Amino acid sequence: MRKIKYLLILTSIMLLPSFSQPIFAQENDFIKEYLERLEKSKEYLILVAEIMPEDKYEFKATAESMSFSENLMHIGWAMDWHSQSLMGGREARDWNTDTELKVDNKSKKEMIAKISETFDKTIEFISSFDPMRLEERLDYFGADRTKRQILLLLADHITHHRGQMLVYMRLNGLKPPRYVLYQ
């Protein structure tokens, strides 16, 4: 009986890594694929921001809408909050006092530089994020979500606001850049 227990324990110890390894590989693949998508998203958003003339940055489709520039900087704010605060545990920026990721009299050039920098910081954060932590859960506006879901929500959020910016370009008679796959 003792020999059987010993063999069961030994077999379990030997087999355990074979079950966890595929899961870890999938998590690493998710991070790798997500980063590729985020890099493409950065390229496309910056291209959109560069094409829109600076004198159209305050354009709004309706009075209650965000302007082109507000959508651009809101994307940066969301990247910072989702990655650094939600996933990284850093205290969130105070929307009322922090102006780093707001339009706040920034020029087009300054906004593009800030959004590029924010993408880079987000990419750096996700690159070093422990893939085993993707299954950690947190409260997201009352919904129980994994950190993997937070990354997916962030990608959707970027796309949502960039889509508004593309419409603003059309409303101003500009042709948006050709859609880039996988972003």
Residue range 86-95, pLDDT digits in tens: 999 899 998 8
Cα separation values, 111 from 48, 62, 146, 157, Å: 12, 22, 31, 18
Which DSSP symbol is given to 82? I
- Is residue 20 situated within a structural domain? no
What is residue 179's predicted lDDT score, i.e. its pLDDT?
Answer: 86
CA dihedral 167, 170, 176, 179 (to 10 degrees): 50
160, 65 Cβ separation under 8 angstroms: no
Which pTM does this prediction carry? 0.83
Taking the chain, what is the end-to-end CA distance rounded to the nearest angstrom?
Answer: 58
What is residue 24's predicted lDDT score, i.e. its pLDDT?
Answer: 45
- Is residue 117 situated within a structural domain? yes
- Is residue 9 situated within a structural domain? no
Go through the chain and tell me how many residues it has. 183
DSSP-derived secondary structure for 83-152: IIIIIT-PPPP-TTT--TTS-TT--HHHHHHHHHHHHHHHHHHHHTS-GGGGG-EEEETTEEEEHHHHHH
74 annotated ligand binder? yes
What token pair was written down for 123? 């990419």
CA dihedral over 96, 97, 98, 101, signed as positive or negative: positive
- Is residue 19 situated within a structural domain? no
Residue range 9-39, pLDDT digits in tens: 655 565 555 555 444 445 589 999 999 999 9
What is residue 14's predicted lDDT score, i.e. its pLDDT?
Answer: 58
Number of domains observed in the structure of the chain: 1
> In which residue ranges of the chain is pLDDT below 50?
21-25
Q: What is the CATH number of the domain that holds 75?
A: 1.20.120.450
- Is residue 88 situated within a structural domain? yes
- Is residue 129 situated within a structural domain? yes
What is residue 62's predicted lDDT score, i.e. its pLDDT?
Answer: 97
- Is residue 74 situated within a structural domain? yes
- Is residue 131 situated within a structural domain? yes
157 annotated ligand binder? yes
161 annotated ligand binder? yes
| H or E element in which residue 77 lies | helix 68-80
Domain that holds residue 137: 34-171
